[in-house]
Chains A and B, each alone.
Chain A
């Protein structure tokens, strides 16, 4: 029996980092599915990556910049049109607790 690649505690920690509220059942299912996937991904260890640079961008571009010119902003109504709880010209959110 191989070591589990990911524990339930790790699943809970990752879910918290990702702000995903998972039910107990979802957590367990997630744990076993992620375990299987991570097990498959282990095969990457077979590859000798010594001295190989990581690829951050698929095509090599550098120094892509724009001039410091002001362009018209969008009207506030357009930006607030999709807001679940607009309040005046602002987005309202419920109480920000610190955990």
Chain B
């Protein structure tokens, strides 16, 4: 059997059992990447030689009988907004096209520290701003289930890579839904951890109070393992929580007994695709049959989430992206005789239209006279959204909803109207505003064969309960049997 079809835990078993070598596994993935990446556009950078060398070292360790570490020999893809030492890190932007960081993001270092093999850096919406990966400064990524459709965004490259078996698993980042929504559109598992669960050191900042790194994986168990590898306090990140990392993998089999699920009134609205709603409601029925209690909850400020987010995130982004000025790294606009022109030119040439739009919006929201009306107000609405969740979690353990309002849309379908694109994030935006974790797990397909997913939102630092519910559902529903038909790709 093609080893690229294996989940992480299956591959680990094979590696441990001696039926597979790390070198064979990495070769299989690299071959598949070589065959399919041109059409899918999942990767921006592939580090084949380095991966082979890493895999060789792993095989030596295993031959010597050394105990395998958490991800020993597992080939992974890293979203190109995370710094990896010595590997070009572009953030999907021309302004960082030549940038090679001399340091690793903590999450990347932790993966490598437990034996993972890095295959390369995946495509994304520029600086993680977008919901379709069409904002990449280089090329779009295509949905492996239908090449004319988007993989979602901003972690579209990572989601497509996992869905198409171009990596055993991947890291993405989630600010307004950028791990969960592409996971949903590509039929893989994606987790946004609690804010502070995973260190942000080395994650190129988009919106500092919302950004989190999260795993994309072939199944729930893999996602749990990846989270275990990267979670935990980091002294280099003052916003990382000093909370112990529990046994996430153990939670996957713990079942839903004793849990109460909440269905939020405000998420089942007109505009929600009928097939998405049907698949989600069916999935809720499955969970009920498995022993979960189900009841309604209300999150009254849901409707204001997108508006609050599209002030807060661009405001922080306009600040975080001020450093890209052609002085110390990245693209420098050519031919400028003075500094201001050079900076203006570097940023004009280096940034794409969506990034420019958000920088403008954010700068405006923070500017003199507008701060209280926009940024200040959005911060207060954020508090109200968090209180909605606090209250709901007094009544239920997990909130269940669709992840995305529709299955994958066509490339080019929403690029004309920024606002239309923003409204894709309506179900995924509330969790980052409230600082709570949320997981997306596949729960069906549309009649046109596009993936549909269920979103589970939990209490702060209670990812374990999310893994319980998702694990129980996945074992029962088994959507993994269905694979994208990529062999037919020209």
The answer on a CB contact under 8 Å between B339 and A95 is: yes
Measured CB to CB, the closest approach of chain B to A62, in angstroms, equals 11
CA A2 to CA B359, docked complex, whole Å: 25
Q: Contact between B318 and A59 (Cβ–Cβ < 8 Å)?
A: no
Q: Which of B338-365 contact A (CB under 8 A)?
A: 338-345, 347-348, 351, 356-357, 359-361, 363-364
- Let me know if A44 and B337 touch, CB within 8 A: no
Q: Do A84 and B330 contact each other (CB < 8 Å), given the known contacts A17-B367, A41-B311, A56-B209?
A: yes
A61 CB within 8 Å of chain B: yes
Q: Please report the C-alpha to C-alpha distance between residue A94 and residue B335 in the assembled complex, in whole angstroms.
A: 10
Interface contact B384-A47, CB-CB below 8 Å: yes
Is B238 positioned at the interface, with any CB of A under 8 Å from its CB?
yes
Q: Given the complex of chains A and B, what is the CA–CA distance between A47 and B364 in angstroms?
A: 21
Q: What per-residue 1/0 map shows which CB atoms of A57-90 lie under 8 Å from chain B?
A: 1110100101000000010001101111100000
Give the complex CA separation of A83 and B98 in angstroms.
10
Contacts A10-B364, A18-B359, A96-B338; A85 near B332 (Cβ below 8 A) = yes
> Bound state CA distance, A17 and B363, in angstroms?
8
Query: Knowing A17-B367, A82-B330, A84-B326 touch, does A57 contact B344 (C-beta < 8 A)?
Result: no
Q: How far does the Cβ of B82 sit from chain A's closest Cβ, in whole Å? A: 17
Whether A82 and B386, one on each chain, are in contact in the complex, defined by CB atoms closer than 8 angstroms, is: no
Chain B residue contacts of A41, Cβ below 8 A: 307, 310-311, 374
- Cβ-defined partner of B328 (8 Å) among A22, A33, A83, A96: A83
Residues of chain B within 8 A (CB-CB) of A21 are: 341, 344-345, 347-348
Check A61/B241 contact, CB under 8 A, given A82-B99, A96-B339: yes
* Bound-state Cα–Cα, A85 to B325, Å: 13
Minimal Cβ-Cβ distance residue in B for A5: B364
- Give complex CA distance A54, B238 in Å: 20
B320 to chain A, nearest CB (A): 12
Q: How many angstroms between the C-alpha atoms of A14 and B381 in the bound complex?
A: 25
Say which residue of A14, A40, A47, A84 sits within 8 Å of B360 (CB atoms): A14
Instruction: Tell whether A99 is near chain B: CB-to-CB under 8 Å.
Output: yes
B490 contacts the other chain (CB 8 A)? no
Quick one: given A18-B360, A47-B304, A78-B102, are A54 and B380 in contact (CB under 8 Å)? yes
8 pairs, CB–CB < 8 Å, chain A vs chain B: A14-B367, A19-B344, A21-B345, A37-B419, A38-B364, A54-B380, A58-B195, A85-B332
CB distance from A67 to the nearest CB of B (A): 10
Separation in Å of the A61 CB from the closest CB of chain B?
Answer: 7
Indicate whether A44 sits within 8 Å of B307 (C-beta atoms), given known contacts A52-B383, A97-B339: yes
Known contacts A18-B360, A54-B382; is A44 also within 8 Å of B376 by CB? no
Closest chain A CB from B9 CB (angstroms): 30
Interface residues in B, total, Cβ within 8 A: 71
Return the chain B residue nearest A99 by Cβ. Answer: B340
User: Are the C-beta atoms of B381 and A95 separated by less than 8 Å?
Assistant: no
Q: Mark B193-217, 1 if CB is under 8 A from A, else 0.
A: 0111000000000000110000000
| Chain A min CB distance to B73 (Å) | 30
CB-based closest 5 A-B pairs:
A58-B435, A54-B379, A82-B329, A84-B332, A21-B344
Identify which of B99, B195, B419 contacts A40 (C-beta below 8 A).
B419
A residues in contact with B194, CB < 8 Å? 59
Smallest CB-CB separation from B461: which chain A residue? A59
Bound-complex Cα distance A17 to B361 (A)? 12
B432 interface contact, C-beta 8 A: yes
Among A26, A38, A46, max chain B CB count under 10 A is at: A38
- Beyond A15-B360, A26-B356, A47-B380: 20 further Cβ-contacts under 8 Å? A17-B367, A18-B318, A19-B344, A20-B356, A21-B344, A30-B360, A33-B357, A36-B419, A37-B422, A38-B361, A44-B304, A44-B378, A49-B380, A49-B381, A54-B379, A55-B386, A59-B195, A59-B196, A59-B239, A85-B332
Alpha-carbon gap, A52 to B100, bound state (A): 44
Bound complex: CA A56 to CA B267 (Å):
26
Closest to B328 in A: A91
CB contact between A52 and one of B196, B209, B307, B380 (< 8 Å): that residue: B380
Q: Cβ of A81 and Cβ of B235 under 8 Å apart? A: no
- Report A-chain residues with C-beta under 8 Å of the C-beta of B418: 33, 36-37
Question: A20 near B307 (CB under 8 angstroms)?
Answer: no
B328–A82 touching, CB < 8 Å: yes
Say whether B383 contacts A53, CB under 8 Å: yes
* A8 contacts B by Cβ under 8 Å: no
Cβ-based interface call for B279 (8 A): no
Q: How far is the CA of A93 from the CA of B342 in the complex (A)?
A: 9
B377 proximal to A (CB < 8 A)? yes
Chain A contacts of B16 at CB under 8 A?
none
How would residues 286 to 304 of chain B score, 1 for a CB under 8 Å from any chain A CB and 0 otherwise?
Answer: 0000000000000001011
Are A59 and B384 interface neighbours, CB within 8 A? no
Indicate if the CB atoms of B340 and A97 lie closer than 8 Å. yes
Measured in the bound complex, the distance between the Cα atoms of B326 and A85 in whole Å is 9
Residues from chain A with a CB closer than 8 A to the CB of B339 are 93-97
Determine the distance from Cα of A11 to Cα of B434 in the docked complex, in whole angstroms: 32
A93 to chain B, nearest CB (A): 5
